């Protein structure tokens, strides 16, 4: 039975507003979710895709569940208490799709996760889309649609396709999954075969609304600056072009995304004069991402590399007065390689390099001073990674991964290291062991 989600067929998604559970039941939800994942991983290693007929059309049901364990020798990472070892690294999803006609396909996915202090088992409608393909060179899709940005943004939940437990965090930060994966809007897309045997060119153009979860990394980091969001999101639009070249196995591409983001928050008064809290509104004056990527596959070897630059220029105001301006400039790149040693064993490695600068101004700049020296540990994360993946069964795998990081990049943009879970401050180097198992059907 054909899989519901494949990297080429599904470019849809966006977590909608989270459904909040009563806080008194959080522990119960965590226990239930952990039990579900454990049952998936231990008791159902031969799961098969499910489906049924509806009006002579096949309805496909697929799902996945993963559980991870992370241990670090120094800093706590990804909002987990990893210096003591943490298994607060769980996600699972269930999706349904069908072809209404030969050209029209519809589908929906429910998703939930817990990553330390993020997610917290607040389920979301991850994607819901209607996709109509008129011709191979032109199609449209709409709903909660996955954002096409680089090689993996729209397929990052398809963990079973990769050897790595964590994608390179310089380009695909897992604590910001909800902020990058999808938009509420529409796409046009297609594939054009070039003349003179010059390969194929695929394009995707999109526009829609991004709405960040209040349980994601950016909102969590802002709270540590005394900024408590009730809403964060806005317009985003962009274009992706990828060229499958005449050279067998070589793909190159580029993406561009523009954003107009606004947020409503309550801010803690850092001066101690007047009210303890006051309303705050922020808006981006400029926000964009450029991403360039390449992938080469030959035999059992796969090599890929990407470069991403993200710029966010925003102002923060209260009672109509600008109190802070901030320009955050994030640059990241990685190079990776994986090799299938045998049917059930693959190994891989990547080097990931991340840097961030922040320039602030206005009356409140003293409380968030500028950071412009990327040689400092507080403004970069360099990560050397080795991994091994073992496929225990067709739909069940285990990954063991080592991370050797220099820097912690604590700035105005999330990158995995947070002061809230590192109250004693940061060490310049962090080694991490990640063990992750996943089942899918």
Please state, for a pLDDT cut of 70, what percent of the chain lies above it: 89
65 closest CA partner among 102, 94, 87: 94
Distance in angstroms (rounded) separating the CA atoms of residues 309 and 333:
9
What's the gap between Cα 396 and its chain centre?
Answer: 22
DSSP lists the bridge partners of residue 386 as 349, 402
- Please report, for residues 62, 151, 350, 368, 410, the alpha-carbon distance to residue 228 in angstroms, rounded to integers and kept in the order given: 37, 33, 36, 16, 19
- Whether residue 134 is contained in a domain is answered as no
pLDDT for 47: 55
CATH of the domain at 270: 2.40.160
Question: For 95-99, what is the mean pLDDT?
Answer: 95
The predicted structure's pLDDT at residue 49: 62
pTM of the model: 0.86
Q: For residue 363, is it within any domain?
A: yes
Residue 44 included in any domain = no
421 within a domain of the structure (yes/no): yes
Q: Could you give the CA distance from residue 159 to residue 66 in angstroms, rounded to a whole number? A: 9
Write out the residue range of the structural domain in which residue 270 sits. 66-85+148-440
Rounded Cα distance, 216 and 118, in Å: 5
The pLDDT value given to residue 48: 59
Structure confidence by residue, pLDDT tens digits, 277-319? 999 999 999 999 999 999 999 999 999 999 999 999 999 999 9
383, pLDDT greater than 70: yes
- For CA atoms 153, 392, 72, 348, the dihedral sign is negative
What pLDDT is recorded for position 197?
Answer: 92
Q: Name the pLDDT band for 10 (thresholds 50, 70, 90).
A: very low
Three state DSSP letters for 387-420? EEEEEEECCEEEEEEEEEEECCCCCCCCCCCCHH
Report the domain count for the chain.
1
Report the alpha-carbon distance of residue 185 to residue 260 in Å, rounded.
15
- Asked whether residue 112 is domain-assigned, the answer is no
Per-residue model confidence as pLDDT tens digits over 208-248: 999 999 999 999 999 988 899 999 999 999 999 999 999 99
At residue 321 the predicted structure's pLDDT band, cuts being 50, 70 and 90, is very high
Going by DSSP bridges, is the β-strand pair 138-146/182-193 parallel, antiparallel, or unpaired? antiparallel
pLDDT by residue (tens digit) across 398-436? 999 999 999 999 988 899 999 999 999 999 999 999 999
* Residue 81 maps to a domain: yes
- The Cα 394–Cα 398 span in angstroms is 12
In a domain, 235, yes or no: yes
CB 218, CB 232: distance < 8 Å: yes
419: left (phi over 0), alpha (psi -120 to 50) or beta: alpha
Residue of 65, 33, 87, 38 lying closest to 433 (CA atoms): 87
98 in a domain, yes or no?
A: no
The pLDDT-based confidence of 250 (bands split at 50, 70, 90) is: very high
């Amino acid at each position: 039975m054909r899989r519901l989600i494949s990297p080429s067929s599904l470019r849809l998604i966006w977590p909608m507003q989270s459904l909040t559970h009563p806080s008194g039941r959080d522990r119960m939800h965590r226990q239930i979710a952990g039990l579900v994942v454990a049952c998936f991983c231990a008791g159902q290693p031969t799961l098969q895709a499910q489906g049924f007929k509806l009006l002579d059309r096949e309805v496909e049901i697929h799902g996945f569940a993963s559980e991870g364990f992370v241990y670090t020798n120094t800093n706590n990472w990804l909002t987990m208490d990893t210096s003591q070892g943490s298994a607060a690294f769980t996600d699972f999803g269930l999706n349904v799709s069908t072809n209404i006609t030969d050209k029209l396909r519809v589908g929906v996915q429910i998703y939930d996760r817990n990553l330390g202090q993020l997610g917290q088992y607040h389920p979301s409608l991850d994607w819901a889309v209607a996709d109509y393909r008129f011709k191979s060179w032109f199609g449209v899709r709409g709903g909660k649609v996955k954002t096409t940005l680089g090689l993996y943004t729209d397929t990052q939940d398809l963990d079973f396709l990769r050897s790595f437990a964590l994608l390179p965090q310089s380009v695909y930060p897992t604590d910001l999954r909800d902020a990058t994966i999808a938009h509420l809007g529409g796409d046009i897309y297609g594939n054009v075969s070039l003349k003179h045997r010059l390969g194929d060119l695929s394009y995707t153009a999109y526009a829609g609304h991004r709405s960040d979860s209040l349980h994601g990394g950016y909102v969590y980091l802002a709270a540590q600056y005394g900024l408590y969001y009730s809403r964060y999101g806005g317009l985003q639009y962009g274009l992706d072009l990828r060229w499958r070249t005449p050279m067998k196995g070589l793909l190159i591409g580029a993406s561009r995304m523009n954003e107009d983001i606004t947020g409503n928050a309550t801010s803690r008064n850092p001066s101690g004069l007047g009210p303890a809290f006051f309303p705050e509104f922020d808006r981006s004056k400029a926000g964009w991402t450029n991403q360039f990527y390449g992938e080469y596959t030959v035999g059992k070897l796969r090599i890929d590399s990407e470069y991403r630059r993200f710029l966010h220029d925003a102002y923060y105001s209260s009672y109509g007065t600008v109190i802070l301006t901030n320009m955050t400039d994030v640059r990241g790149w990685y190079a990776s390689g994986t090799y299938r040693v045998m049917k059930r064993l693959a190994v891989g490695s990547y080097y990931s390099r991340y840097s961030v600068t922040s320039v602030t101004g206005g009356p409140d700049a003293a409380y968030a001073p500028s950071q412009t020296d990327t040689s400092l540990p507080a403004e970069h994360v360099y990560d050397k990674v080795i991994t091994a993946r073992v496929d225990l069964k067709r739909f069940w795998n285990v990954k063991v991964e080592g991370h050797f990081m220099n820097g912690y990049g604590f700035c105005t943009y999330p990158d995995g290291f947070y002061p809230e879970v590192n109250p004693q401050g940061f060490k310049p180097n962090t080694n991490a062991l990640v063990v992750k198992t996943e089942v899918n059907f």
